[in-house]
């Protein structure tokens, strides 16, 4: 294992039972992969090196029980440092730490903690106190865990409040959206009803205008026909006229037959037939009657004079 990278020297040479001593190795990086291959190394000493930070996969070394990171240049611990749940002893003496990650509260098995000689936040420094003996270091572990749990609870509470506020805001937005959609539906419904009412009024107006036009046309037609009908004499019904013409035709036909019979009885050899004799006798009687009637008329005219 080389001095800078931690590679080149076998870690097994540094392993003594369950303790792995990598102190004073001038390390700039932690050989996490090689450490993960040694799950028996529950005690790890990385003190007195040049570590500025720990890689995030360092927190996968969950088999660690005791960890010494003192006298390095660590400015912060990984955010998920609390994954090292089996850790009982932690030495962070003489680093450059200001705060601890909130996940630190998950180190429920932590019994010993040293945070001396770090530029800690005043509140955290007061909580941690001094670690001058075994008792103070144990008290520091308990108090820091309680402090970090309080911070975690407060952050969880704030997170819950934030989530609740976001949910309420989302509900409010949804309610506003539903109200807006309902208002838009009501507006469309009202516009549709108004459009229907407008079309109905137009239809009624067109129908009334059409009826008025029909009435006007009918009145003009009646006024136009009245003078023509008053100037013309009343015409007899066609059936009566047809009947009169038929009777007249029959009479004319009878007279024509009579004349033909008289002509035949007077001018032909049929005049000696009994029928013609009767016809001629009737004709002579009628002529005599007409002559007498004419004589009577003359007498009447003479008397009147």
Which helix or strand (DSSP H or E) is residue 16 part of?
Answer: strand 15-16
Sequence ranges of the domains in the chain? 12-155
Q: Is 144 exposed, middle or buried (0-12, 13-18, 19+ CB in 10 A)?
A: buried
Residue 39: φ, ψ to 5°: -65, -15
Residue 148 has pLDDT above 60, yes or no: yes
Helices (H) and strands (E) in the chain, counts: 5, 6
| pLDDT tens per residue, range 176-222 | 999 999 999 999 999 999 999 999 899 999 989 988 888 888 888 87
In terms of Cβ atoms closer than 10 Å to its own Cβ (0-12, 13-18, 19+), residue 280 is middle
In this structure, what token pair is assigned to residue 17? 């039972």
- Strongest mean pLDDT among 4-8, 128-132, 292-296: 128-132
Residue 215 tokens read as 């009435």
* Reported confidence tier of residue 255, pLDDT bands at 50, 70, 90: confident
Continuous segment of H or E residues that includes residue 15: strand 15-16
pLDDT for res 143 = 95
Residues 6 or more apart in contact with residue 262 via CB below 8 angstroms: 279, 280, 283
Q: Could you tell me which residue, 6 or 79, shows the higher pLDDT?
A: 79
Is residue 235 predicted with pLDDT exceeding 60? no
pLDDT of 305 reads 47
- CATH code reported for the domain at 12-155: 3.80.10.10
pTM, 2 dp:
0.56
Residues whose CB falls within 8 Å of the CB of residue 165, separated by 6 or more in sequence, listed in order:
none
Predicted pLDDT of residue 1: 45
Would you state the structure tokens that stand for residue 116, as one six-digit string?
């001396």
Predicted confidence (pLDDT) per residue in 223-233, tens digit:
776 554 445 55
Position with higher pLDDT, 152 vs 280: 152
Cα distance between the two ends of the chain: 186
Q: Which residue has the higher pLDDT, 184 or 265?
A: 184
Percent above pLDDT 90 for the chain: 59
* Encoded tokens for 192: 């549709």
Are the CB atoms for 41 and 35 separated by under 8 Å? yes
Query: Where is average pLDDT lowest: 52-56, 218-222, 225-229, 246-250?
Result: 225-229
pLDDT the model gives residue 242? 72
Are 69 and 91 in contact by the 8 Å Cβ rule? The answer is yes
Mention every residue, 6+ apart, whose C-beta is less than 8 A from residue 81: 54, 59, 100, 101, 103, 104, 107
Average pLDDT, the chain: 85
| Per-residue pLDDT tens over the stretch 83-126 | 999 999 999 999 999 999 999 999 999 999 999 999 999 999 99
Which has the closest alpha carbon to 22: 66, 61, 69?
69
Six token digits for residue 197:
């009412």
Produce one character per residue of 56-85: b if its CB has 16 or more CB atoms within 10 Å, e if not: eebbebebbebbbbbbbebebbbeebbbbe
What is the model's pLDDT at position 181?
Answer: 92
The mean per-residue pLDDT over the stretch 242-260 comes to 80
């Amino acid at each position: 294992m080389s001095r800078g990278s931690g590679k080149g020297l076998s870690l097994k040479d540094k392993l003594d039972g369950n303790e792995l001593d990598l102190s004073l190795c001038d390390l700039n990086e932690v050989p996490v992969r090689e450490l993960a291959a040694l799950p028996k190394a529950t005690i790890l000493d990385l003190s007195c090196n040049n570590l500025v930070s720990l890689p995030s996969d360092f927190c996968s070394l969950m088999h660690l029980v005791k960890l010494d990171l003192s006298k390095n240049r660590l400015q912060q611990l990984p955010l998920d440092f609390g994954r090292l749940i089996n850790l009982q002893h932690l030495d962070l003496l003489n680093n450059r730490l200001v705060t601890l990650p909130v996940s630190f509260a998950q180190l429920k098995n932590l019994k010993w903690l040293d945070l001396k000689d770090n530029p800690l936040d005043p509140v955290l420094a007061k909580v941690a106190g001094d670690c001058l003996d075994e008792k103070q270091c144990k008290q520091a572990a308990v108090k820091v865990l309680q402090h970090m749990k309080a911070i975690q609870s407060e952050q969880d509470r704030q997170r819950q409040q934030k989530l609740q506020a976001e949910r309420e805001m989302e509900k409010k937005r949804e309610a506003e959206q539903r109200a807006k959609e309902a208002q838009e539906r009501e507006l469309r419904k009202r516009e549709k009803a108004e459009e229907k009412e407008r079309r109905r009024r137009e239809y009624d107006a067109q129908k009334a205008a059409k009826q008025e036009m029909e009435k006007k046309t009918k009145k003009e037609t009646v006024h136009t026909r009245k003078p023509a009908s008053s100037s013309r004499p009343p015409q007899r019904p066609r059936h009566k006229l047809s009947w009169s013409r038929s009777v007249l035709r029959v009479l004319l036909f009878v007279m024509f037959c009579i004349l033909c019979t008289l002509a035949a009885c007077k001018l032909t050899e049929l005049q000696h037939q009994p029928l013609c004799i009767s016809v001629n006798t009737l004709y002579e009687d009628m002529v005599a009657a007409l002559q007498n009637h004419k004589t009577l008329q003359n007498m009447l005219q003479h008397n009147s004079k």
